[in-house]
Structure 1
Amino acid sequence: MADRPTDMAPVHVLVFPWPLQGHINSMLPFAEGLLGAGVHVTFLHTEHNLRRVDRAASPRLRFASVPDGLPDDHPRSVAHLSEIGRSLRPSASAAYRALLAPALSTGSNADGGFPPVSCVVADGLLPFAIDIAEELGVPALAFRTESACSILAYLSVPSLVGLGEVPVPAGADLDEPVRGVPGMEGFLRRRDLPSSCRGHGEAGELDPMLQVLAKYTAHSCKARALIFNTTASLERSALAHIAPHMRDVFAIGPLNAISAAPASATSLWREDDGCTAWLDGHADRSVVYVSLGSLAIISREQFAEFLSGLVGAGYAFLWALRPDMVGASQSAALQEAVDAAGKSKVRVVDWAPQRDVLRHRAVGCFLTHAGWNSTLEGIAEGVPLACWPFFADQQINSRFTAAVWGTGLDMKDVCERAVVERMVREAMESGELRRSAQALARQVTRDIAEGGSSASEFERLVGWIFPNRLRAQPVSLPSIQGTVQSTCPTMLSAMQCIP
């Protein structure tokens, strides 16, 4: 990545992720990429998260924090996402404004050697951060940590509602094809839509979470640009359908493949550093790596089905099983896994250095929740995926893995030992899946290399954020609200009333 031209004034970008592991995982490598281009970066955590992460800064990187308004012992889990969102905005706004205030001054050496903030890159799930920055005269870009295909689905919610596709009623045929998401008519089924598209409550109302996500996605058109952690070779069609609704779009991923920092730099969990040593004792492509991400919660019954399926497949497995994943029965679950498979064939850890694990020669497949970071990490390393999506965008990511890229298997909506066993064996043994996964990994490597699509897009983004471009007059804003209103007035009204 090219360095900043020496005749330009220093640029300072504030990067503000939604305060969950998956969002930090992609936005911190993005910040590191900016550092490599000569940009000063403030990476903004919540106070709770800043106490949990590695804070190793550099001369042009600093970490700052804002309160999230929740007590220290609050679980901040998947069951509390809406609570986090409701608390974060009123609690963080004042401290966030204070960080941006130096941009209004004329000083060039504000805050201990850092120049004033000249640009904000905020998570698209933090629309208030974009609005406050623009109010203060600081240009703001939105960063979506999900796949472009899932963002296109959220952007299409008004159309899906107008067509009667969403909410999907209880008891409906989930294999019915879906209209209304451009470019996906040939393979998208009801079961592949984001999980919140399914009916909520007895009357089948729209899930409140879906309304929020659709509203926030529409809000992205207010930002100066929308940044994706993806590459055109993976999601060219989705990016092309999103672009007309946005002022600009940058596809600069996969960022995990660009970052040189250790995975621990982004982790809110303590990683088990003995994983790779354990893998060293196994033959090439003989181990199944299992991780359902940082948010998924499974029942004791689901754990038993996964365990039985893994043992039945006959391969050694490394399982990243968070302490809160199976609830109160976690200790018993761990012992059950070891007893069932034998010590030499299973290692269960709270959290694993995932990038290091996936690139290890011993790993033959990845049983994953199909979160976007995990999907990209598996793709970048050429590892076949067996996908069991839990919620949100994971459903559509899983479908793309199986039906579009051909690099894995999709076992959504079922958790049965026989299915787990069969799919793990196929992911470990299928030459076709492995060839497709390795071919896609080679393409992604080309994308991030000099002259590749993602590398070129990142250079274009760096050029965009320097002052000569930031001072330019804003471009015209496409009238997405008019499109939404004509498609589904009720949905637009619902979006506008959500805080």
Structure 2
Amino acid sequence: MMNQSTHQKPHAILFPYPLQGHVIPFVNLAIKLASNGFTITFINTQSIHQQISKAGRSNVIDNENNDLFSCACKSGLDIRDVSIYDGFPVDYDRSLNHDKFFEAIMNDFVFHVDEVVGKLMLSNPSPNILIGDTFYVWSSTIAKKYSLVNVSYWTEPALVFSVYYHMDLLKQNGHYDCIENKREDIIDYIPGVKAIKPTDLPSYLQSDDTNMVVNRIIKRAFKEVQIVDFIICNTVHELEPEIITALQKYLSIYSIGPIFSPGFTNTSVSTSLWSESNCTDWLDTKPNGSVLYVSFGSYAHTNKETIVEIARGLVISEVNFIWILRPDIVSSEETDYLPIGYEESIKDRGLIVPWCCQTAVISHPAVGGFLTHCGWNSIMESIWCSVPFICFPLLTDQFTNRKLVVDDWKIGINLCDEGSISRDEVAEKVKFLMKGKEAEEIKQRIKKIKKELEDGLALNGSSQVNFSKFMDDLESKISKKNVLDVEFENQKLNHIAK
């Protein structure tokens, strides 16, 4: 816990990126910091705030003022809920207009941030720490203007951070941003990173169009991250030791994860963008380990043909399953993507819902496998519950996360080995994971990986030790800033007096 005798109580502004996969670890970090004596101002965009408020359970969200943290505050935590205009109407379809939206987030959002932070500086206690998502490109501008300690929060694995951080190295060696004679051989020159295939890079680094808005955001963000005060990473050191050690040679980076909500399945703060279906009653009717959980996360899209092949494959497999199908999984404009009469045909063997509390489902004893897009939150949560994977990455870091799960840790299998997906291959992989004798080895390995997470989060574990070190270094940085600010103010007063 940070020493409360410091000049000023720590007050951190937390700015998650406006996607659910980023909001979740930021909420968990807010609770962890507030539990250690911090005042927290948590800032969602108005759109994200309204979606969560609309979807939230009545016992979690204060419906009178839409305070997402009302229950946490009742337990004594000082977390202040603030929303910010992102430049678009609340009902604007940000998914359908992805490029336009994120172009504005990159270039124009900083002006709204500046306005909100300026007002927050008048609060008591005034903020002295900015914790922004690494993908934001404006943190140093805002931190410098308001004399805030600048902390970058990386919500994905250290491997993905390192690959992005060394984009220039990839370019120099012809593996990125090189249309002519682009190399397709193994990448073995990134410090701390074992050999990695170009097809295991994040999707944006595999693209020939390096001028896409997301590529430009990544490029600017990873120039920005070189000048922040601290970087905290939602991973555990034991899973990525060589990578983290290599990064620590030139960055103040701390692996403090995985940061879960205190109750894991019963968080006091809602983070869901959709109303959650209760799957527990259905799961209670199924034998232990017999249900495959299928979900492709909160953001990535796929096509109708893929959905149909997975649907048919699940039928052929004869395995029980829960399938989370967001209304916009194909696109915001197409919601009719399942075969006609499909839900009736699966009857008691399958349950399809638009959204659920994922931690409640994968921690249920009936669940024995997870067909996943390989989002980092999903991977950490599933390891914690000892649930092995069938991997089907769709976008961004998911391809690199898949490499960790299948190739490095060997706690999952690929859904399709090459080319387009087929129902027969889906059925084969599902039966292998859920019923095959060989799958027992995977289940034993994931228990060992879970033990590494548990050890990292233990009282003297690496993540807790790193968190304490981060807190001490943060306190020291705040104290130095306070001294410098006082000296600067005295200099101004002396100058005026003269």
Category of TM-score, reference length = shorter chain: 0.7 to 0.9
Q: How many percent of aligned residue pairs carry the same amino acid?
A: 25
Tell me: CA distance 1:96–1:360, structure 2 relative to 1, closer, same or farther (3 Å): same
Pairwise CA RMSD:
2.5
1:42 aligns with 2:41: yes
> Using the alignment, how far apart are the partners of 1:157 and 1:411 within structure 2?
29
Kindly provide the CA deviation profile for residues 390-448 of structure 1, in whole angstroms up to 9, marking residues without a partner as x.
11111010011011111111346642222222222222240010001111112201111
Structure-2 residue corresponding to 1:71: 89
Write the distance in 1 (CA, Å) between the matches of 2:38 and 2:421: 47
- Structure 2 contact 178–208 (Cα < 8 Å) conserved: no
- Are residue 88 (structure 1) and residue 105 (structure 2) matched? yes
Distance 2:181 2:283 in 1: 44
Q: Deviations over 1:112-135 (max 9, x none)?
A: xx4100101001111213321222
Please give the alpha-carbon distance, in whole angstroms, between the structure 1 residues aligned to 2:325 and 2:183. Answer: 33
1:358-373 matches, cutoff 5 A: 358-373=362-377
Which amino acid in the other structure matches residue 146 of structure 1?
E
Gaps of 5+ in 1: 105-109, 475-499
Report the equivalent of 2:187.
178
TM-score, structure 1 length as denominator?
0.85
Q: What's the CA shift for 1:281?
A: 0.8
Change (3 A) 1:279 1:239: same
Query: Aligned equivalents of 1:89 and 1:168: distance in 2?
Result: 24
Q: How many residues align?
A: 455
1:387 aligned to which of 388, 391, 407 = 391
Matched, 1:56 2:69: yes
Whichever residue aligns with residue 193 of structure 1, its letter is L
CA offset digits 1:215-269 (Å, max 9, x no partner): 31232011101111101011112212222232x1111111126565528611122
Q: What CA distance in whole angstroms lies between the structure 1 residues aligned with 2:450 and 2:26?
A: 21
For 1:142-181, list aligned pairs within 5 A: 142-167=152-177, 176-181=185-190
Q: Which consecutive residues of structure 2, in runs of 5 or more, have no partner in the other structure?
A: 53-60, 62-67, 483-498
Contact 2:192 2:245 in 1 (8 A): no
Q: Is the 8 A contact 1:315 1:345 kept in 2?
A: yes
- What is the deviation of 1:88? 2.9
Deviates more, 1:125-134 or 1:86-95: 86-95
> Is 1:29 aligned to residue 28 of structure 2?
yes
Residues 381 and 228 from structure 1, CA distance in 2 versus in 1: closer, same or farther, beyond 3 angstroms?
same
Rounded Cα–Cα distance in structure 2 between residues aligned with 1:91 and 1:138 = 21
Structure 1 window deviating more from structure 2 (322-331 vs 441-450): it is: 322-331
Provide the rounded CA distance (Å) in 2 between the counterparts of 1:166 and 1:426: 36
What residue is the counterpart of 1:225 in the other structure?
Answer: 230
Aligned equivalents of 1:34 and 1:312: distance in 2?
A: 48
Q: Call closer, same or farther: CA 1:89–1:152 in 2, change over 3 Å.
A: closer
* Inter-CA distance 169–426: structure 2 relative to 1 (3 Å threshold): farther
User: Structure 2 matches for 1:419-498, cutoff 5 A?
Assistant: 419-428=425-434, 429=436, 430-466=439-475, 468-472=476-480
- From the superposition, tell whether residues 184 and 416 of structure 1 become closer, same or farther in structure 2 (CA, over 3 Å): farther
How far, CA to CA, are the matches of 1:343 and 1:349 in structure 2? 13
1:250-269 maps to which residues of 2 (within 5 A)?
A: 250-256=254-260, 260=264, 262=267, 265-269=270-274
The 2-side partners of 1:10 and 1:102 are apart by: 18
Aligned pair in 2 of structure 1 residues 52, 199: CA closer, same or farther (>3 Å)? closer
Aligned pair 1:198/2:211, yes or no?
no
* CA deviation after TM superposition for structure 1 residue 46, in Å: 0.6
Alpha-carbon contact 2:42-2:80 (below 8 Å) kept: yes
Deviation for aligned residue 1:17: 0.6
**Partner of residue 244, structure 2:** 239
Q: 1:345 to 1:208 in 2, by over 3 A?
A: same
Does the Cα contact within 8 Å between 2:308 and 2:339 map onto a contact in 1? no
Displacement of 1:387: 0.8
Aligned-partner SS, 2:240: helix
TM-score when scaled to structure 2?
0.85
Letter in 2 for 1:390: L
Equivalent residue for 1:141, pick from 151, 176, 183? 151
Comparing 132-141 and 34-43, the one that deviates more? 132-141
Instruction: Specify the code of the residue in structure 1 equivalent to 2:83.
Output: S
The answer (yes or no) to whether the contact 2:290–2:319 under 8 Å persists in 1 is: yes
Counterparts of 1:311-390 in structure 2 under 5 Å? 311-327=315-331, 330-331=335-336, 333=338, 336-340=341-345, 342-390=346-394
Shift, 1:368, TM fit: 0.4
Distance 1:443 1:41 in 2: 30
